[in-house]
Amino acid sequence: MILKGKKGIILGALDTKSIAWKVAELAHAEGAEFILSNAPIALRMGTINELAAKTNSEVIACDVSLDEDMNNLIDAAVAKYGKLDFVLHSIGMSLNVRKKNPYTDLNYDFMHKTFDISAISFHRLMQTLMKKDAMNEWGSILGLTYIASQRVFPDYNEMAEAKSLLESFARSFGYHYGVSKKVRVNTISQSPTMTTAGSGVGGFDAFYTYADKMSPLGNASAEACAQYCISLFSDYTRYVTMQNLYHDGGFSFTGISGDVMEMVAKAGE
């Protein structure tokens, strides 16, 4: 029960495969209370009410690209709990990826929307929390990212830039929130994971298998990611802030693995 007594908000649980779904289940098991949030359309299409019933949580709609929705969400959370201890931003969406536009022929209106939903919303979330003085000291705010922010993965398309921006907001806002309120802010860079957002990336199956073969520990699952999130919401990680934390079975620091060498050798036979 390492989150006993802690209150928070979990944004981005769409269905049972969602990373945020696994975080909510585990946070509940570890004694936390929280509000679940997602975009209005996702609330209509997804199965979040099942999760709400299971975790005894309230669901509040919020399109994270809208100031008004964000204000309402934070006001509702503070009205319910007082100050918060943890917030998870588990949100990503690219209109250009959805429309299968190639990286060298992108629609800029779509790109703005992608950055707004996938990255600027992280700033919007933290700015709203800060303005409303909604976080307890030593609270923890987490975003989820992917290594395409730092290295080139061509099929990740404009989401690469969205994730670079997200990670930068964690560093910069982490500084300001640390100084003013002792709140910590981090991003977790997760292995490819079989979810709705993940599978939307072109060639995802090959992507997934390659990462699995490259990682000494194999791909980290959504359940394992949830465990890492819980540790970062707990009091055992109070001095971890402004970091991009790899949770990828060792992928990020592996040049080449025996398995991949074998695959390449076989392909050349």
Minimum CB distance to ligand NAD smaller for 13 or for 106: 13
Among 30, 63, 75, 155, the residue binding ligand NAD under the rule CB under 6 A is 63
Q: How long a stretch of residues is the chain?
A: 269
Contact with ligand NAD (CB under 6 A) among 6, 28, 38, 141: 38
Catalytic hit among 81, 156, 177, 246: 156
Distance of CA 179 to the CA centre of its chain: 24
Q: 3-class DSSP state for residue 231? A: helix
Distance CA 40, CA 17 (A): 19
Instruction: By CB under 6 A, tell whether 249 contacts ligand NAD.
Output: no
Pick 237 or 244: Cβ nearer ligand NAD:
244
Q: Which helix (H) or strand (E) holds 91?
A: none
CA 151 to chain centre: 18
* Count of residues that bind ligand NAD according to CB under 6 A: 26
Dihedrals φ, ψ of 172, to 5°?
-70, -45
List 88, 144, 165, 230, residue binding ligand NAD (CB under 6 A) = 144
Q: Which of 146, 177, 208, 246 is catalytic?
A: 146
34 touches 73 (CB < 8 A): no
68, 73, 79, 84 alpha-carbon torsion, rounded to 10°? -130
Query: Is 91 one of the binding residues for ligand NAD (CB under 6 A)?
Result: yes
Stretch that binds ligand NAD, among 28-36, 144-152, 170-178, 227-235 (CB under 6 A): 144-152
**Site membership for ligand NAD, residue 192 (CB under 6 A):** yes
Instruction: Indicate the SS3 state at residue 33.
Output: strand
Strand order in the sheet with 184-190: 58-61, 33-38, 7-11, 84-89, 135-145, 184-190, 244-247
Residue 27 interacting with ligand NAD (CB under 6 A): no
Smallest distance from the beta carbon of 269 to ligand NAD, in angstroms? Answer: 31
Q: Does 146 bind ligand NAD (CB under 6 A)?
A: yes
Instruction: Report the helix count and the strand count for the chain, using DSSP H and E.
Output: 12, 7
Which range of residues in 2-10, 57-65, 75-83, 176-184 is near ligand NAD by CB under 6 A?
A: 57-65
**Annotation says 146 is catalytic:** yes
Active site residue 156: yes
User: Which positions touch ligand NAD (CB under 6 A)?
Assistant: 12, 14, 18-20, 38-39, 42, 63-65, 90-93, 117, 144-146, 190, 192-193, 195-198
Q: What is the set of active-site residues?
A: 146, 156
